[in-house]
Structure 1
Amino acid sequence: MANVHQVERLSAGSLVRGWFRMLVGLTIGSLTGMAGLAAAAAGVGVVRLTEYELDRITRFDRAVHTNLLTRQGCRRYLAVRWLVGALGAGVICLLTFWYVIGISVVTAWLFDGDWALIEDADQVTLGLIALMAIPGALVIFVTTAGVVGVAVLDRWLATTMLGTSQQTLLRERVAELTSTRAEVIEAIDDERRRIERDLHDGVQQRLVALGMLIGRAKRARGEEQLQELLRQAHDTAGEAIDELREVATRVYPAVLDDSGLDAALEVLAERSSVRVEISNRLGSSPGTALETVIYFVTSEAVTNAAKHADPSLVEVHVRPDGKGGIAIVVRDDGIGGADPTGTGLSGLARRVKAVDGDFEVTSPPGGPTTIYARVPCE
Structure 2
Amino acid sequence: MDRDDSLPSPLRQEAGRLLRRAVRSVVAVLLGLATGPLLMLAALLALIRIRRPLAAVDRWDARRLERFARFVHQDPDGAALGPGRALLHGAGSTVLGLVMANLLQQLIVVTLGSLGQLLFGGEVVFVFEMWVVTQSALLVLLIYGPATFLACVGWAEVALWLQARLLRRWFPTMLRADALETRITRLVTTRRGVVVAIDDERRRIERDLHDGVQQNVVSLSVLIARARRSKDPERTAALLDQAHRQSQSLIDEVRQVAWRIHPTALDERGLASALAEVAETCPVPVQLDVQLEERLPGPVESAAYFVAREAVTNVVKHARAESIRIALWRTGAPRRRTLHLSVIDDGIGGADSEGGGLQGLARRVAALDGSVDVHSPPGGPTTITAELPYA
Report if the CA contact (8 A) 2:194-2:364 is conserved.
yes
The reply to whether residue 161 of structure 1 matches residue 145 of structure 2 is no
Q: Distance in 1 between matches of 2:272 and 2:220?
A: 36
Q: What is the Cα deviation at residue 226 of structure 1?
A: 2.5
Q: What is the Cα deviation at residue 307 of structure 1?
A: 1.4
Decide which structure has greater helix share: 1
The reply to whether residue 351 of structure 1 matches residue 292 of structure 2 is no
Alignment of 1:168-317 (within 5 A): 168-317=178-327
Report if the CA contact (8 A) 1:320-1:326 is conserved.
yes
CA deviations 1:223-269 (Å, max 9, x no partner) are 43223322321221122111111110111111111112221111121
Q: How many residues align?
A: 267
Pair 135,336 (structure 1): closer, same or farther in 2 beyond 3 Å: closer
The reply to whether residue 337 of structure 1 matches residue 350 of structure 2 is yes
Report if the CA contact (8 A) 1:91-1:143 is conserved.
no
Which residue does the alignment assign to 2:171? none
The reply to whether residue 145 of structure 1 matches residue 89 of structure 2 is no
CA deviations 1:325-378 (Å, max 9, x no partner) are 111101111221111111111111111111010111011122111111101021
Q: What is the Cα deviation at residue 152 of structure 1?
A: 5.7
CA deviations 1:74-121 (Å, max 9, x no partner) are xxx9xx99x97xx78x959x96x998xxxxxxxxxxxxxxxxxxxxxx
* TM-score (ref. length: structure 2): 0.60
Pair 283,151 (structure 1): closer, same or farther in 2 beyond 3 Å: farther
The reply to whether residue 376 of structure 1 matches residue 386 of structure 2 is no
What amino acid does structure 2 have at the position aligned with 1:147?
A: L
Q: What is the Cα deviation at residue 219 of structure 1?
A: 2.3
Greater Rg over alpha carbons, structure: 1
State the secondary structure of the residue aligned to 2:353: coil
Q: Distance in 1 between matches of 2:351 and 2:94?
A: 49
Deviates further, 354-363 or 145-154: 145-154
State the secondary structure of the residue aligned to 1:285: coil
* TM-score (ref. length: structure 1): 0.61
Q: Distance in 1 between matches of 2:179 and 2:315?
A: 37
Aligned-pair identity in percent equals: 41
Pair 138,169 (structure 1): closer, same or farther in 2 beyond 3 Å: closer
Q: What is the Cα deviation at residue 279 of structure 1?
A: 1.2
Q: What is the Cα deviation at residue 142 of structure 1?
A: 4.2
Alignment of 1:80-91 (within 5 A): 91=40
CA deviations 1:16-71 (Å, max 9, x no partner) are xxxxxxxxxxxxxxxxxxxxxxxxxxxxxxxxxxxxxxxxxxxxxxxxxxx9xxxx
Which residue does the alignment assign to 1:7? none
Decide which structure has greater strand share: 2
State the secondary structure of the residue aligned to 1:324: strand
Report if the CA contact (8 A) 1:195-1:247 is conserved.
yes
Q: Distance in 1 between matches of 2:232 and 2:341?
A: 59
Which residue does the alignment assign to 2:166? none
Alignment of 1:7-46 (within 5 A): none
User: What stretches of structure 2 of length at least 5 have no aligned partner?
Assistant: 1-17, 55-81, 101-152, 162-175
User: What stretches of structure 1 of length at least 5 have no aligned partner?
Assistant: 1-66, 68-72, 100-132
Pair 366,134 (structure 1): closer, same or farther in 2 beyond 3 Å: closer
Q: Distance in 2 between matches of 1:351 and 1:98?
A: 55
Q: What is the Cα deviation at residue 148 of structure 1?
A: 3.0
Q: What is the Cα deviation at residue 162 of structure 1?
A: 3.5
